[in-house]
Structure 1
């Protein structure tokens, strides 16, 4: 199962990278349009916000697979390997709980936005799309972190 999680996280990261590239290209085109012809892309700020949020959500599982999230080790520099493994497991468990909660509430938010027919101000895009697209990345991050907490931190990294 951990090999499959690693591969899935990799595909999510590829999608996140493509999303980041698309946002970067859109920002360049919008700025050039604003500077050269006084016509930026309508809704460029909305699209940038959505794109960056999606990119982060999609790349989080890959970062967790490789344990590349921020670690503050100031207080644990002199701790032994067993203590560090225990703290890493606890951290992974807490991350799993937090991202599972975020995935759940994001999915619930998508449902609420769908029912309320919320849309963006400029482009009139349905807001539920954005929420719905964020939930899978958060859920996969929770699953990766849970596997790392239960099996160990190298459970997913060794197969990536």
Structure 2
């Protein structure tokens, strides 16, 4: 895997984890304020939804890089190495296409929502930002999966850390 993609995936994952920690602190603060002061943090649900979606999108490239997605190999356990590599390449290609389309449509959706001046209900935050920040993580996941297609077809392990 090219070092640039590894570094970007790591950076995205770190930022995603920081976002998840921030959401956790926000949730604890809001629940505590609700319990102690009868006043939750306004817009906490909006911010939590946005933060967790961002966290997932940012952590997807790291998960794909390390083969942390679900693989059902029940039917291919007895298949030859070449057959498994080709099937893995095909699966990575399908994933790359799907996540690439998601990145593209998310970016297009962000522009559409921006042009419509949509905002969140409680805080009045521009909704287009929510969509726009998801696209880079999805796009990077697509690129990583595409590189993995090439590695599978070349007979190189796309996840060397998973080898026995």
Instruction: State the TM-score, normalizing by the size of structure 2.
Output: 0.92
For residues 30-71 of structure 1, the C-alpha deviation after alignment (integer angstroms, 9 at most, x for no partner) is 111111111111111111110000000000000000011111
Q: Runs of 4+ in structure 1 displaced over 6 angstroms?
A: none
- Choose from 139, 149, 157 the match for 1:154: 157
For residues 74-93 of structure 1, the C-alpha deviation after alignment (integer angstroms, 9 at most, x for no partner) is 22222222111111101100
In the other structure, the counterpart of 1:30 is: 30
Q: Structure 1: which 5+ residue stretches go unaligned?
A: none
Question: For 2:37 and 2:24, how far apart are their aligned partners in 1?
Answer: 19
1:158 to partner: Cα distance: 4.7
1:151 to partner: Cα distance: 2.6
Question: For 1:88 and 1:3, how far apart are their aligned partners in 2?
Answer: 22
Question: For 1:33 and 1:79, how far apart are their aligned partners in 2?
Answer: 57
Q: Where do 1:42-57 residues align within 5 Å? A: 42-57=42-57
1:99 aligns with 2:99: yes
Question: For 2:142 and 2:71, how far apart are their aligned partners in 1?
Answer: 17
Q: Give secondary structure in 1 for the equivalent of 2:125.
A: coil
Q: Kindly tell me the number of residue pairs found equivalent between the two proteins.
A: 158
In the other structure, the counterpart of 1:120 is: 120
Q: Give secondary structure in 2 for the equivalent of 1:41.
A: coil
Q: Structure 2: which 5+ residue stretches go unaligned?
A: none
1:9 to partner: Cα distance: 0.4
More helix by share: 1
